[in-house]
Structure 1
Amino acid sequence: MKNIHPKWLFLMSLSLIWGSSFILIKKALLGFTPFQLGALRSVLTGLILLVFGVKYLKYIPKEKWKWIALSGFLGSFFPAFLFAFAQTEIDSSIASILNSLVPLNTTLIGLTIFKIISTKRQILGVMIGFVGTAILIFEGADVNPDQNYFYALFVITATVMYAFNVNIIKRYLQDVKPLAIATGNYLVIFLPALLVLIFSGFFTSKTIHGVMFMEALGFVAILALFGTAMAKVIFNRLVQISTPVFASSATYLMPVIALLWGVLDGEGFSVLQALATFIILLGVYLSHKRKKPE
């Protein structure tokens, strides 16, 4: 074990934690609306991080706060709502597979926005990944006609935001402590999240006295503690000790974990969807793999 590079341990931990997040979102939606779920997740995570990480905020240079703020909204605030809305119409396992587009989008954005040169192999991987995504969405619409696969666009939008976030961390926050980044993120988004929570009707008797309130609250608490607070710190550190694409490749194994949870929860999955999943992961692999130096 002592010969294993820490980045691999971080990667495996993230895959397990984030792969389980999708089923937690699905269960929490039984008691909350998407707005309530997204806002409560951010508020609880913010409280957890501020308790343990407030002393690290002093390590954030003043000129870095604009990137901390942007990272907070793109990497945490908006995706929390996007995934919640998406899973009101599509299965948790499908959402996790679509989330595998993060490394592909990281490559594209790194090339177009951050001027990081990509190889022909990586560009081919991006194209293959998009083909797999299209097959997955159209096949899902046939297999589950009662689900609205237009909502898959919410997940795809979130993956673009994640891709921007990972490039921002690598480019502008490389020398900031991971816990400081995560705490700073949630310090910035805490008030907006709290306002959304208040205006979402969360504190009304209809929500609080709902049949599934306590169960849903428990699921969100687990999601906030492990799936967001702890995972954010691990992810930020992983980005710093590796590369943006390697860090985002936690999505390689996440669908496996999420699919297992989905099958256990009675979600359907066709052979063509399995093929589409393989195509997406192949595209991700190609976009990540680099040629060995001659």
Structure 2
Amino acid sequence: MERDLQSESTLKAWGFLIILALVWGSSFILIKRGLEVYSPGEVGALRIVFAGLVLLPLSLPRLKGLNKRQVKNLIIVGLVGSFIPAFLFAKAQTQLSSSLTGVFNAMTPLFVVIIGALFFKSRITRRNGIGLVIAFIGVLILMMVKEGGIGNFSEINAYALLVLLACACYGLNLNIIKYRFVELKPVAITAISLSFVLPLALIYLFTSTQFSFKILHVEGAVQAAGYLAILGIVGTALALILFNVMVKVATTVFASSVTYLIPVVAIMWGLLDGEVLLAGHYFGILAVIFGVWIGNRR
């Protein structure tokens, strides 16, 4: 009986892992589809609006019992964990392929380690350090690859830095959740933090963009908004809940392995969409994934 329950938990964990890899790995192609009609700001705002609205029923009943410190930290989590990265990823993908953006996103676990060491008194192990060096070498290669080989530092694609900044935001977010939210469950943190930044996204979307005009008058705008609805509802809101469930039925090490599968899915979508990866790209991709694997091992 105990063995059957263990096998069932293992099967569930693998199911969650595969679903999450497919969902999060598909996020970058959905951003790309949204950018065919909408500006980066509109894409980022719509992603937050859809995610925030779908989680509103979970967040509203939990608002009453919050104290001032929790409210302050939840606003910060909403900004650095969702709001700011949504805009950074959209802007970055105006000059980066969806597949490479997915690879850069794999740096998030290493930024968790860096931010933790800088601001939360956690320590960087020798293995963390080696992984960081290897992964950053891979990032530099990806930023400088061009037709005919590797360029020089003056030819770095600076838009990749926007993705790394988004990963740093995620790293700060995860450390805040780890060290400052002992009493709140992860699902509640996600839902409430998104509800706090939802008004910002709505105000920006309807006062500072052309979204209202585009959705009514631009061909393909409704379909593009549909892609962003999938991104916000499935790729942001429901995926975070699913990840929290997976952590309960599997180890954190197993759960973190989704990091290595997301770039694979992103690359597959990119290649299917006609994106071209050069030989140098593959070398950089392997370096990033290997570095993250080394640096994230327990």
Give the structure-2-normalised TM-score: 0.87
Alignment partners' CA distance in 2, 1:36 and 1:103 = 28
Matched, 1:223 2:265: no
Alignment partners' CA distance in 2, 1:201 and 1:144 = 38
How far residue 57 of structure 1 moved from its aligned partner, in angstroms, is: 3.6
Of 138, 144, 147, the residue aligned with 1:138 is 144
The residue that corresponds to 1:158 in the other structure is 166
The residue that corresponds to 2:273 in the other structure is 265
Of 18, 23, 39, the residue aligned with 1:17 is 23
Structure 2 vs 1, CA of residues 7 and 249 (structure 1 numbering), >3 Å: closer, same or farther? same
| Matched position secondary structure for 1:216 | helix
RMSD of aligned Cα (Å)? 2.7
How far residue 61 of structure 1 moved from its aligned partner, in angstroms, is: 5.0
- Name the aligned partner's letter for residue 82 of structure 1: L
The residue that corresponds to 2:133 in the other structure is 127
Structure 2 vs 1, CA of residues 111 and 62 (structure 1 numbering), >3 Å: closer, same or farther? same
1:76-115 superposed matches below 5 A? 76-115=82-121
The residue that corresponds to 1:288 in the other structure is 296
- Name the aligned partner's letter for residue 13 of structure 1: I
Alignment partners' CA distance in 1, 2:121 and 2:81 = 20
Alignment partners' CA distance in 2, 1:193 and 1:141 = 39
Structure 2 vs 1, CA of residues 36 and 143 (structure 1 numbering), >3 Å: closer, same or farther? farther
Alignment partners' CA distance in 1, 2:253 and 2:161 = 22
How far residue 8 of structure 1 moved from its aligned partner, in angstroms, is: 5.4
Q: How many residues align?
A: 289
How far residue 199 of structure 1 moved from its aligned partner, in angstroms, is: 2.6
Alignment partners' CA distance in 2, 1:170 and 1:141 = 43
- Name the aligned partner's letter for residue 180 of structure 1: A
User: Gaps spanning 5+ residues in structure 1: where?
Assistant: none
- In the TM superposition, structure 1's runs of 4+ consecutive aligned residues that sit over 6 Å from their partners are 141-145, 239-246
| Matched position secondary structure for 1:289 | coil
Alignment partners' CA distance in 2, 1:130 and 1:280 = 7
The residue that corresponds to 1:200 in the other structure is 208
The residue that corresponds to 1:255 in the other structure is 263
How far residue 31 of structure 1 moved from its aligned partner, in angstroms, is: 1.2
8 Å contact kept, 2:10–2:250: no
How far residue 251 of structure 1 moved from its aligned partner, in angstroms, is: 2.1
Of 28, 34, 37, the residue aligned with 1:28 is 34
Q: Deviations over 1:179-231 (max 9, x none)?
A: 31112111210111111101333344345310120111110111111011112
Alignment partners' CA distance in 1, 2:53 and 2:21 = 24
- Name the aligned partner's letter for residue 155 of structure 1: V
Alignment partners' CA distance in 2, 1:59 and 1:129 = 42
User: Gaps spanning 5+ residues in structure 2: where?
Assistant: 1-6
| Matched position secondary structure for 1:4 | helix
The alignment-based identity, stated in percent, is: 39
Q: Deviations over 1:56-81 (max 9, x none)?
A: 44465553222211111001000000
How far residue 9 of structure 1 moved from its aligned partner, in angstroms, is: 4.9
| Matched position secondary structure for 2:238 | helix
Alignment partners' CA distance in 2, 1:63 and 1:197 = 29
Alignment partners' CA distance in 1, 2:116 and 2:248 = 16
Give the structure-1-normalised TM-score: 0.88
Alignment partners' CA distance in 2, 1:5 and 1:60 = 37
Alignment partners' CA distance in 1, 2:220 and 2:156 = 24
8 Å contact kept, 1:56–1:179: no
Alignment partners' CA distance in 1, 2:149 and 2:53 = 41
How far residue 173 of structure 1 moved from its aligned partner, in angstroms, is: 1.9
- Name the aligned partner's letter for residue 106 of structure 1: V
1:51-62 superposed matches below 5 A? 51-58=57-64, 60-62=66-68
